[in-house]
DNA sequence: CGGGCACTTGATAGTAATCAAGTCCGGTGG
DNA sequence: CCACCGGACTTGATTACTATCAAGTGCCCG
């Protein structure tokens, strides 16, 4: 944790820029210059960071914490599109094109973000074209993930959807553990349901089933110990 | 139709580059230079143009015709991700990143494509950075569409899915008609089903329902006359 | 330790997939 | 031009599964 080293603004700034792949091609001096452009902001769990339809004036980088990007249908249902964590960023599309946000973003926990103003970002992109390539790289990864999601939602069984999201969380948030992979879930059962288009009851039931099959072990509501990763992968088809 | 004007290779080349938004920032002379890099190819209905996992060495631009991009699950189910028509292109992601194709592409009808080789494309992107921005623009549009698809598949009813795809086709392929909008369907019932994650029977039933409600009229299997666009839009939620 | 909220589990109902006939369209050949 | 043939589409009956409705249970935090 950087806080153990130095918690002054300068260090925070620098580390913030280092966490993000889009700046990875910059030299330390250039990074320092970028750091000067950054504004910090903190949100509490449940705070709405951006609202759908709102026009954004900054690129938002997650420095610490987690957020969900989602849309609401008129009848109140929610569809989660992305979960952004430390090092992820959003709002880039609203800066590149001049367009309002197409989704809401809400903090899932206490979250520290770094903001780069539109005009600064556009200058950066011009000065360092590699940044555009990195942004493109990130857009491609999101396309890959969404294509995979569409495939799973279109052709997959409910088991496949639940297995798929658990594997995604295992890769992103999992930590080695003597008995398997320990996963700290970023979402509640209901949140998971809204991520894969199911109801909380169905998610509950399928996870209980996976536990009965010895594939995983639920530790309270927020942790899952994945015992048999291969079995989940077999569920994908 | 350009064929009525001139069908020589030069003209075809030029028109091919003009149809594509990614080259829209180039001057006529620059376009002519690009045209010289282009290789033409023709596919018949049903031909597989690219296979999932195959590594591509070219950007593919549709000059005439239509193709579908799709994935197959192990149990044989198909999920259509994109339908590309005249002026659309694909393969850009495999050139920017060095990665195999993540989907199959098959001609839906006789299709004429223009190819630009990887090395040529990479030089072009370097010489004309605006091309990268245009590609990014296109990636953003695909993200928008996929996000919309995920939302519809996750929270929408079956009526909403069918209505959504019909509206998409109306916008893309619809032509004004005294009684409404005439749509030439790019896909069979089964194709539509694979596009929105349903079975052909369900698509059939829902379309018959829409006809009974006076919202549309089916003219043979390949044409639909949309009589009440607003009603379809109301179905979205 | 207690209260509230999230989660689990159970029963029921609604809906789409599946299975199974038919019907229609479009193309081909006489 | 018409008759025929095959593939795509439609329609119906049944089954399977998940959403919904409804109680409980348990975790977490004050």
Residue B107 Cα distances to A95, B68, B186, angstroms: 36, 7, 11
| Residue B9 three-state SS | helix
Torsion angle, alpha carbons of A61, A62, A67, A73, to 10: 0
Each residue of A46-93: pLDDT tens digit?
999 999 999 999 999 999 999 999 999 988 899 999 999 999 999 988
| pLDDT of res. B131 | 87
Alpha-helical segments (H) within chain A: 9-18, 28-36, 92-96, 118-127, 129-155, 158-173, 189-196, 200-212, 229-234
Domain ranges of chain A: 6-153, 157-234
DSSP B214: T
Q: Residue B149: count other Cβ atoms within 10 Å of its Cβ.
A: 25
CA distance A42 to A105: 14
CA distance B161 to B59: 31
Residue A176 Cα distances to A219, A231, B13, B14, angstroms: 16, 17, 55, 56
CA distance B151 to A104: 13
CA distance B167 to B186: 13
| pLDDT of res. B14 | 58
Q: State which CATH number among 3.30.365.10, 3.40.309.10, 3.40.50.300, 1.10.10.10 fits the domain covering B157-234.
A: 1.10.10.10
DSSP string, B31-60: HHHHHHH-EEEEE-TT-EEE-TTPPP-EEE
How far is the alpha carbon of A188 from chain B, nearest alpha carbon, in Å?
Answer: 17
Q: How confident is the model at residue A127 (pLDDT cuts 50, 70, 90)?
A: confident
**Tens-of-pLDDT digits for all 237 residues of chain B?**
333 345 555 555 556 777 788 888 888 888 888 888 899 999 999 999 999 999 999 999 999 999 999 999 988 899 999 999 999 999 988 888 888 999 999 999 999 999 999 999 989 888 888 888 888 889 999 999 999 999 999 999 999 999 999 999 999 999 999 999 999 999 999 999 999 999 999 999 999 999 999 999 999 999 999 999 999 999 998
Specify whether the CB–CB gap between B116 and B37 falls below 8 A: yes
Closest Cβ opposite residue B143 in set A129, A139, A151: A139
B223 touching A (Cβ < 8 Å): no
Q: CA gyration radius for chain B?
A: 19
In chain B, the largest separation of any two C-alpha atoms, in whole Å, equals 56
How far is the alpha carbon of A32 from chain B, nearest alpha carbon, in Å?
Answer: 26
CATH homologous superfamily of B6-153: Jelly Rolls (2.60.120.10)
Each residue of A133-178: pLDDT tens digit?
888 889 999 999 999 999 999 999 999 999 999 999 999 999 999 9
Torsion sign, CA atoms A135, A139, A140, A144: positive
In this model, does residue A4 exceed pLDDT 50? no
CA distance B201 to B214: 20
Q: Which residue is nearest to nucleotide C9 (CA to C1')?
A: A205
Q: Residue B17: count other Cβ atoms within 10 Å of its Cβ.
A: 25
| pLDDT of res. A12 | 55
CATH topology identical between A6-153 and A157-234: no
Specify whether the CB–CB gap between A150 and B79 falls below 8 A: yes
Q: Which residue is nearest to nucleotide D27 (CA to C1')?
A: A220
DSSP string, A46-92: T-EEE-TTPPP-EEEEEEESEEEEEEE-TTS-EEEEEEEETT-EE-H
CB contact under 8 A, A140 and B93: yes
CA distance B69 to B78: 10
B146 touching A (Cβ < 8 Å): yes
In this model, does residue A33 exceed pLDDT 90? no
| pLDDT of res. A2 | 38
Which residue has tokens 């909403």? B160
- Please give, chain by chain, protein residues whose CB is below 7 Å from any atom of strand D: A 157-159, 197-199, 201-202, 220-222; B 188-190, 200-201, 203-205, 207-208, 218, 221
Model-level pTM?
0.91
């Amino acid at each position: 944790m950087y806080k153990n080293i130095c918690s002054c603004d300068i260090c925070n700034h620098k580390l913030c820029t280092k966490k993000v792949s889009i700046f990875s091609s910059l030299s330390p001096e250039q990074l320092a210059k970028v750091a000067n452009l950054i504004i910090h902001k903190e949100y509490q769990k449940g705070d709405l960071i951006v609202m759908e339809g709102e026009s954004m004036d900054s690129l938002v980088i997650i420095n610490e914490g987690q957020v969900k990007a989602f849309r609401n249908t008129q009848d109140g249902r929610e569809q989660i599109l992305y979960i952004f964590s430390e090092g992820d960023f959003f709002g880039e599309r609203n800066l590149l094109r001049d367009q309002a946000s197409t989704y809401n973003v809400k903090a899932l926990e206490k979250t520290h973000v770094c903001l780069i103003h539109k005009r600064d970002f556009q200058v950066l992109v011009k000065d360092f074209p590699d940044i555009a390539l990195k942004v493109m790289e990130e857009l491609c990864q999101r396309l890959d993930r969404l294509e995979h999601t569409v495939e799973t939602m279109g052709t997959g069984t409910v088991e496949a959807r639940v297995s798929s999201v658990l594997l995604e969380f295992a890769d992103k948030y999992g930590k080695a553990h003597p008995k398997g992979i320990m996963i700290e879930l970023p979402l509640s059962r209901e949140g998971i349901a809204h991520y894969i288009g199911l109801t909380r009851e169905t998610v509950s039931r399928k996870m209980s089933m996976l536990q009965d099959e010895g594939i995983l072990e639920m530790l309270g509501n927020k942790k899952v110990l994945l015992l048999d990763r291969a079995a989940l992968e077999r569920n994908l088809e």
